[in-house]
Amino acid sequence: MALAMQIRAYLFARPSFLQHFVYRAPLSYRGMSSKGSITVHQLAQTGFGKGTNELYDRARPSYPLESLTHIRGVSNAPSINIVEIGSGTGIFTRALLAHPSWTTSISELRAIEPSDGMREVFSKTVTDSRVIVQNGTFDTTGVEDSWADLIVIAQAFHWCPDYDKAAAEFARILKKGGAACMIWNLEDRDGARWCAQLRERIEQHEAGSPQFRLGLWRKLFDTPSYGASFQPPEEKQWEYHLEGSLDICTNRAQSKSYIAVLPPDEKQRVVDDIVAILNRGNDKKWIDEEKGIFEYPYKTYLAVCRKKD
């Protein structure tokens, strides 16, 4: 009860949704307090704490190949230094390392992640001599000036507590001509009624947290530090279908930060309701009905922020 009260006390103003597309996602929940100590949003700290990360890594989807190809085209450097902020358990990192456009393009990748539990899973799942993972936040990466050709932030930037400080840090560590890329996956509520119903059921537990779909992260583009150092953002999105099943949908829902913190009985009610939604199956399109595999509609959204020369 105390945790729920603390979460509900952290309220955010809700601006209008994105014009073309709305979203949600989890993991760059950090910043600095006025005294300089690292602070982490309570919901993210608990929802992505130790003991929750194996499910997160297993349940969350990777990223479409087209989006990774597009990000490679952002930089024309033959060998790229990358800073990945909010690297989590390594889902995006592994996709990048395995992608044909990136296999031989990465000189070094520094993964920045404030969660001890996430870093622990990352270290187990990412084994590449070019990659190191370390503690840090959006505005305290620990990376030297003008080191990075590219910053990537996957499923994370909506947790940023101070957009102006983050923009200043991005500008500091990027080389001239470098860029920051922010990418998110989200279930596409417009792709099927059952998917919309699933999101309606779980999103009622968001408790005022700064989820991606609310667009609060767009305030980054209005900050003085962003305006001084970056060009207007370039935005792109992809619509597609993943394979879905009863287990995939229920596990993915439970990997959401705001579902992970629920008491066991309340979490079970969420799972039961998702099962009922899937059994009704409004607009469900089967891939293999015998195996229980159906289309799971998704969107991936990308914002590219190029540093001014």
Report residue 197: phi and psi, to 5°: -65, -40
Q: Is residue 216 part of a domain?
A: yes
Residues 6+ apart with CB under 8 A from 83: 109, 110, 112, 141, 143, 147, 148, 150, 151, 152, 173
275 located within any domain: no
Supply the CATH number for residue 88's domain: 3.40.50.150
Chain-centroid distance of CA 184 in Å reads 5
Listed in sequence order, the residues at least 6 apart from 70 whose beta carbon sits closer than 8 Å to its beta carbon are 236, 302
Q: Please tell me the distance from the alpha carbon of residue 245 to that of residue 249, in angstroms, as a whole number.
A: 6
Q: What is the 3-state secondary structure (H, E, C) of 160-229?
A: CCCHHHHHHHHHHHEEEEEEEEEEEEEECCCCCHHHHHHHHHHHCCCCCCCCHHHCHHHHHHHCHHHHHH
- For residue 249, is it within any domain? no
User: How many CA atoms does the CB half-sphere of 295 hold within 13 Å?
Assistant: 16
User: What is the token pair recorded at 94?
Assistant: 């592994």
Whole-angstrom distance, CA of residue 301 vs CA of residue 63:
10
Is 23 among the domain residues? no
Lowest-confidence region among 34-38, 133-137, 213-217: 34-38
Is residue 58 one of the residues assigned to a domain?
yes
More confident residue, 1 or 103: 103
* Residue 127 covered by a domain: yes
Q: How confident is the model at residue 118 (pLDDT cuts 50, 70, 90)?
A: very high
Higher pLDDT, 275 or 46: 275
Task: Give the type of residue at 97.
Answer: L
Query: What average pLDDT score do residues 169-188 get?
Result: 97
| Residue 89: per-residue pLDDT | 94
Count Cα neighbours of 221 within 13 Å in the Cβ-side half-sphere: 14
Structure tokens at 27: 């993991």
Residue 265 belongs to some domain of the structure: no
- Element holding 56 (H helix, E strand): helix 53-59
Q: Quote the number of domains for the chain.
A: 1
Report yes or no on 14 lying in a domain. Answer: no
pLDDT in tens, 144-155: 999 999 999 999
How many other β-carbons are positioned within 10 Å of the β-carbon of residue 15?
11
Look at residue 100 and tell me whether its pLDDT is greater than 90.
Answer: yes
The pLDDT value given to residue 46: 45
Q: Scan for tokens 């009704």, then name that residue.
A: 280
pLDDT at 42 over 60: no
pLDDT digits (tens, 9 = 90+) for 249-300: 999 999 998 999 999 999 999 999 999 999 999 999 999 999 999 999 999 9
The token duo for 271 is 């799972």
Between 17 and 201, where is the model more confident? 201
pLDDT for residue 52: 58
**Which structural domain range is residue 109 located in?**
45-188+209-242+298-306
